[in-house]
Amino acid sequence: MELSKHSFIYGVGVLSRLSSFILLPIHTAYLSQHDYGILILLLSFIGIATVFTTYGLNVSFLRWYVPETDEEERKRIFSICYYGVAGMTLLLTVIILTSSTSLASALLRDTGYKPMFMMAGLILLMDSLFHFPQMLLQARKNSLGYIGVVFLNVTLNLGLSWYFIVQRGFGINGVLYSALIAGFAAFLVTVPLVLKHLKLYFSIEKYKEFVKYGIPYVANFLFVVLIDLSDRFLLERFIDAEKVALYSANYKLGAAMAIVVNAFRLAWHPFFLSLSNSPDAKRTFGRVFSYFFLLSCGLFLFISIFINDIVRVNVGGFHLIAEKYWEGTFIIPWILFSYLISGAYVIFAAGIHIEKKTKYTPLFTGAGILTNIVANIILIPLLGIYGAAISTVLGYGVMTIIQYITVQKFYYVKYEFDRIIKVFASTAIVFSTYRIFFYDSNIVVKSAILLTYPVLLYLFRFYLKSEWNEIKSLSLKLLGRKNQS
């Protein structure tokens, strides 16, 4: 299936793109908890600012570019969107550079961090100019090209991080230097691609149309980013930067689910747009949700059950996160589950794009961020990082439920909720059994617990006859190959 193929390839690309996840062993080992907390706040600032560089033109670009068949018109669409994003990015970069003292004082309560905010502004510029060529490759379904340029960017970032942080001991500055240089190199590599598809063309009328369609997504993307990142600033205000570090290091491990969701999202958007006029579209969307939920719950169980063993693995003197962060692993299942819910949000959003009802998206995400912030304010003083993790689940849950109810009114899809309930019940039984009875067991026992997941699905009659026949056929083929070898 084309969706599965591109999801897998984008998954590798997203895994590479999440360089902060890959760099966790270095960051947590060579930065103090305070410095790592400050770094997270700086990266969170960049993440929030990134939303404003595209102001919804990334969504409009995919919506108009993907269905278009004429290459010249495609170039015009790309040119309008690219010039619009480049102009806004340059403006925001100038604003950040000229107000870096105020930003350091307001967000970190120390003007000594001014140079770091200036570097953050330049990183924002490079990342934004690199991001749009990535979207062009995505829209053209050039998944191998996509992963190639991203892999180059992250490989360089990894090498520079080792040099600046481990060899030179530059600390936070080493992280920022690496990101800036790697971003600039990635931008240079994509220049030929941009020039190939860019024209000296701009249409005010088309630009207004694109902005009108995409602008509701500014609020949407901002709210989603705030759900992910606002808890860091609230933790710093209510507790301290060290708790920000403890929470963020473990949050990144839970964000392994985000790799799956983001990979799926990159492939899903062009897929459902290209399928939207098919008579089987809605049935396909319902089936896709069932499979997504099945696989995501499997990943949830795997990471939740084995995470305490995974973080203790020593490779070349490094752990996935330094030992001083292990006390926070209890939040990881909550983060995994929150991103699983966000995957449902991505799937339910198909009707919004197909019917061009983007005006509703701020309603969904606004409700989510409001729930998240209120819950954080109440729960962080009471429960610390545990309260922040619960608040993330509540925010995504409210956002997704409201979206589902609204979208079903104008684009009804019959999702297979009888099968979804069976998956959820199986997941809940396996997870509860592990947490209550086998939390401190060895890997063999934990593996046996995990294997009860597909068994329970079978007992609950989750598998359709055609799916079960396919499973048996595949199993026989694998056994045949094993016997031949």
Give DSSP secondary structure letters for 164-197: IIIIS--THHHHHHHHHHHHHHHHHHHHHHHHHH
Cross-strand bridge partners of residue 387: none
Question: Around Cβ 485, how many Cβ atoms within 10 Å?
Answer: 5
Question: Strand, coil or helix: what is 215?
Answer: coil
Q: Is residue 16 part of a domain?
A: no
Q: Is residue 262 part of a domain?
A: no
> How far is Cα of residue 293 from the mean position of the Cα atoms in its chain?
16
Q: Is residue 61 part of a domain?
A: yes
Cross-strand bridge partners of residue 138: none
Check if the beta carbon of residue 256 is closer than 8 Å to that of residue 299: yes
Check if the beta carbon of residue 18 is closer than 8 Å to that of residue 47: no
pLDDT of residue 475: 57
Report how far apart, in Å, the C-alpha atoms of 325 and of each of 64, 123, 306, 314, 454 are. 45, 27, 16, 15, 33
pLDDT of residue 207: 92
Tell me the C-alpha distance between 138 and 132, whole Å: 10
List, in sequence order, the alpha helices (H) in 198-255.
204-214, 216-238, 241-254
370: Cα within 13 Å, side-chain hemisphere? 9
pLDDT of residue 303: 95
Helices and strands (H, E) in the chain, number of each type: 22, 0
List, in sequence order, the alpha helices (H) in 255-349.
256-275, 281-310, 332-348
The boundaries of the domain holding residue 35 are 31-214
pLDDT of residue 13: 47
Q: How many domains does the chain have?
A: 1
Question: Around Cβ 302, how many Cβ atoms within 10 Å?
Answer: 17
Tokens, residue 267? 């492939």
Q: Is residue 43 part of a domain?
A: yes
Tell me the C-alpha distance between 47 and 179, whole Å: 13
Question: Around Cβ 220, how many Cβ atoms within 10 Å?
Answer: 26
Report how far apart, in Å, the C-alpha atoms of 142 and of each of 31, 95, 136, 139, 246 are. 38, 35, 9, 8, 38
Kindly give the interhelix angle for 33-54 and 114-139, rounded to the nearest 10 degrees: 50
pLDDT of residue 228: 75
Question: Around Cβ 307, how many Cβ atoms within 10 Å?
Answer: 21
pLDDT of residue 345: 94
Q: Is residue 278 part of a domain?
A: no
* Spatial CA neighbour of 9 closest among 104, 109, 106, 142: 142
Tell me the C-alpha distance between 165 and 27, whole Å: 8
Amino acid at 325: Y
pLDDT of residue 481: 52
Query: Residue 327 contacts by C-beta under 8 Å, 6 or more apart in sequence?
Result: 246
Tell me the C-alpha distance between 226 and 349, whole Å: 19
Q: Is residue 360 part of a domain?
A: no
Q: Is residue 151 part of a domain?
A: yes
List, in sequence order, the alpha helices (H) in 315-440.
332-348, 350-354, 361-383, 385-410, 417-437
State the residue for tokens 């984008």: 10
Cross-strand bridge partners of residue 318: 315
Tokens, residue 155? 């490989």
Residues in the chain: 485
> How far is Cα of residue 333 from the mean position of the Cα atoms in its chain?
16
Q: pLDDT tens, position by position, for the chain (485 residues)?
A: 555 555 554 554 455 556 667 788 889 889 988 898 889 889 888 988 888 888 888 888 888 888 888 889 899 998 999 999 999 999 999 999 999 999 988 888 888 889 999 999 999 999 888 888 888 887 787 777 777 888 888 889 999 999 999 999 999 999 999 999 999 998 998 899 889 988 889 899 999 998 988 887 787 778 777 877 788 888 888 888 888 889 989 998 888 888 888 878 877 877 787 777 788 888 888 888 999 999 999 999 999 999 999 999 888 778 888 888 899 999 999 999 999 999 999 999 888 888 878 788 888 888 998 999 999 999 999 999 999 999 999 999 999 999 999 999 998 989 999 999 999 999 999 999 999 998 888 999 999 999 999 999 989 988 877 767 666 665 555 555 545 54
Tell me the C-alpha distance between 173 and 168, whole Å: 11
Q: Is residue 281 part of a domain?
A: no
Check if the beta carbon of residue 345 is closer than 8 Å to that of residue 202: no
Tell me the C-alpha distance between 440 and 463, whole Å: 32
